Amino acid sequence: MKSYRKELWIDAKSRVAFINITGNVQECLQESGVREGIVLVNAMHITASVFINDDEPGLHQDFRRWLEELAPHEPVSQYLHNRTGEDNGDAHLKRQIMGREVVVAITEGRLDFGPWEQIFYGEFDGKRRKRVLVKIIGE
Ligand code: ZN
């Protein structure tokens, strides 16, 4: 069995961002040489997500609005977590909703997606460098 591991660095310029990382994961798959197997992609930070959905700007705006309704950033004093001196209580909740990781099947050397599926990094406390782990196992 082959095993491959890589950390992708993400540098979101805004506090909230959705970044399509499908191409990065495909590059990892090429490097791994795996033809049949599984790829795991996870955020390595507890205020960021990795999720699969459509690469459609209107949908991404809908996600932003929906998440902000569920967990508004302001006022930061509404979150007990922010008593630690942080201001990212909302970002932890947003990450929990959007998820930590995705797993995608690898078939004949390709990501075995359904129609329109793309892999996104979701940032909820950005303006600093963060990592995404890509782990591939298979033959
Ligand atoms: Zn925090």
Distance 125 CA to ligand 1 centre (A): 9
Instruction: Specify which residues 39 forms β-bridges with.
Output: 104, 136
Distance 115 CA to ligand 1 centre (A): 35
Q: Are 37 and 136 in contact (CB under 8 A)?
A: yes
Which residues constitute the domain of residue 37?
Answer: 2-138
pLDDT band at residue 47 under the 50/70/90 scheme: very high
Note the pLDDT of residue 64. 98
**Mean pLDDT throughout 37-61?**
98
Residues near ion ligand 1 (CB < 5 Å) are: 86, 88
pLDDT tens-digit profile of 3-12?
Answer: 999 999 999 9
Distance 81 CA to ligand 1 centre (A): 7
Beta carbons within 10 angstroms of residue 91's beta carbon: 26
CATH assignment of the domain containing 31: 2.60.120.460
Distance 21 CA to ligand 1 centre (A): 24
Beta carbons within 10 angstroms of residue 100's beta carbon: 16
Distance 58 CA to ligand 1 centre (A): 28
Q: How many domains does the chain have?
A: 1
pLDDT tens-digit profile of 84-130?
Answer: 999 999 999 999 999 999 999 999 999 999 999 999 999 999 999 99
Distance 49 CA to ligand 1 centre (A): 14
- Integer Cα distance of 22 and 3 in angstroms: 19
pLDDT band at residue 59 under the 50/70/90 scheme: very high
